[in-house]
Amino acid sequence: MINKLKGSRKIFKFTLTQGLKTKSMKITTAILCLIFLVSVPVISIFSKDDSGEKIHIKKVYVIDMTGLNMTDNLSKIKDKSGKFDNIEYLESKINTEDIQKAKDPEKVFKFEKKSEYIYLVAAKSDKEFNFQIFYDKKTKVDKNDVQGYQGFLDENFKSVIADGMKLSADKRDVISADAKIHINEKKDAKTTKKDVNAEGKYNIIYFSLMIFLFILAYGGERIASGIIVEKSSKIMDMLLVSVEPMAIVTGKVVANLLILFIQVLGMALSFGVSLVINGLIFNDGNIYMPKLLKSVFDAENFKGANALNIVVSLLIFVAGFFVYGLIAGVAGASVSKIEDMAEGVKVYSVLLVICAYFVMYIVIGRNYVSGNVVAMVAEILPITALFITPAAMITGYVSLSTGLISLGILVVSIYILMNFVANIYESMVYYNGKPLKIKEIINISKMKKSNKKRGEK
């Protein structure tokens, strides 16, 4: 296998250089970066009408464990939008010891049906302040209300602390402590435990699914078209004199993976700049994220985002792209003429769409809540793992052990595919005629194996 990869570095450099020079790559990257650059301000503009929505929080019962007179200081805050100005802050009669001793603090708080109040527990440690918001879905207060109030607290908590410490205006900048603000929905004792952040997590998985679908469709077509162009222009014949067929497809896959990484990095940087621009326009120069994005990038949605999970998720993405890249290479080699490219890549495209829709069914059906077996299959299946497992690991739905199993199966699949591709690639590259069907490709593989056995004898 190692001998068959000799020369892949030359192919990698050649493909990378040519890929970065093409107009299509430059134009596509520029358009994607521009979209991400304007994305946050556009979302802010269209969500600006949120300030007119009715807020159902009329009272906040405060349990103050900070000793900074939070109840009075919270009532002094003025909201820019005016949405939270009319809230009445009251000292709660709930004993703080009862909250600290309770195994499930949510049970300590009592709510009346159709009421319009929440509980706010304020505590502090050496390095940070901690705010816990408790509400009940049987009241008029809904998740949008508490998420809005969470954002309001996040923007103003330093002012509340400064008032509690009785700091003058020129000394308020010394407050460097961070605040963690968590939302807790009280659950009915008769119902099973539910993930209150499920909607945000599913949005992350769905968004990553669409991104990966675009990456695989774009990257796979580029790999296939590159091989077809080289076949039709006889460049491939020259390459095969000094380079093994397997090295050609491997070099092309790795080069296109790096090109995609460069594009994704550009989009990520554009999104960061977009946040800064949005803050300059809507928040006096401070970074500001619209409510819609806040619900997606809530820290509670990334419970699995530790260093090891992130590394394994990235490796699953790389391995998954490699699997599809090898398939795209075979699809490209099965075509002799550029005008037949659509016909040759059809199998690759159909496979991609079927796998994406299979995962989409899992996401739309909320199958992680019930631990559906179908979801477990999708997590470890080599052709679907890329679409779901990385994002599901980051959001905490999939364990590290499952991720490692998925990665192991992908590595084995790559080894099997590389052997298969190495067995048929040279014959397919020299092939001229109508686009090959799957059955014909398998027949080529069988013929190569039988010829190899005869040669060994």
Residue pLDDT, tens place only, 56-114: 899 999 998 888 788 888 888 876 667 787 889 999 988 888 887 777 777 788 888 88
Q: What is the pLDDT of residue 386?
A: 92
Q: What is the pLDDT of residue 191?
A: 42
Q: What is the pLDDT of residue 47?
A: 67
Q: Classify burial at 54, counting beta carbons within 10 Å of its beta carbon; exposed 0-12, middle 13-18, buried 19 or more.
A: exposed
Res. 189 pLDDT band, cuts 50 70 90: very low
Mean pLDDT of the region 201-214 = 88
106-164 tens-digit pLDDT: 778 888 888 999 999 988 876 678 888 999 888 989 888 888 888 888 877 777 666 65
Res. 174 pLDDT band, cuts 50 70 90: very low
358-397 tens-digit pLDDT: 999 888 876 665 567 888 899 999 999 999 999 999 988 8
Q: How far apart are CA 43 and CA 292, in angstroms?
A: 8
Q: What is the pLDDT of residue 247?
A: 79
| Edge-to-edge strands, sheet with 128-136 | 88-91, 59-64, 117-124, 128-136, 178-186
DSSP sequence for 283-319: STTS----HHHHHHS-GGGGTT--HHHHHHHHHHHHH
Please tell me what DSSP assigns to residue 116: -
140 three-state secondary structure? coil
Query: What percent of the chain clears pLDDT 90, i.e. is strictly above it?
Result: 20
Q: What is the pLDDT of residue 49?
A: 46
141 three-state secondary structure? coil
Placement of tokens 């820290």 in the chain: 299
215-273 tens-digit pLDDT: 888 888 888 887 777 766 666 556 656 677 777 778 888 888 899 889 889 999 999 99
Q: What is the pLDDT of residue 98?
A: 80
Q: How far apart are CA 201 and CA 223, in angstroms?
A: 32
Res. 402 pLDDT band, cuts 50 70 90: very high
Placement of tokens 């559906």 in the chain: 372
pLDDT at 185 over 80: no
Placement of tokens 């079927």 in the chain: 354
What value does the mean pLDDT of the chain take? Answer: 80
Q: How far apart are CA 360 and CA 206, in angstroms?
A: 7
Res. 198 pLDDT band, cuts 50 70 90: confident
pLDDT at 428 over 90: no
Q: At what angle do helices 307-333 and 400-429 cross, to 10 degrees?
A: 20
**Which residue stretches of 120-234 are H helix?**
143-165, 198-232
Q: What is the pLDDT of residue 90?
A: 92
pLDDT at 51 over 50: no
The more confident residue out of 104 and 319 is 319
Please tell me what DSSP assigns to residue 122: E
Tokens of 36: 């991400």
pLDDT at 15 over 70: yes
In the chain, what are the domain boundaries? 3-43+198-456, 53-186
pLDDT at 197 over 50: yes
Closest Cα partner for 425 from 362, 338, 325, 331? 331
Q: What is the pLDDT of residue 101?
A: 77
- Using CA atoms, how far residue 311 sits from 92, 109, 209, 403, in Å, is 45, 40, 18, 10
What residues pair up with 131 in beta bridges, in sequence order?
A: 122, 181
Q: How many CB atoms lie within 10 A of CB 408?
A: 12
Query: What percent of the chain clears pLDDT 70, i.e. is strictly above it?
Result: 78
Residue 406 near residue 316, CB atoms below 8 Å:
yes
129 three-state secondary structure? strand
Q: Range with the lowest mean pLDDT among 13-22, 205-214, 223-232?
A: 223-232
Q: How far apart are CA 170 and CA 55, in angstroms?
A: 34
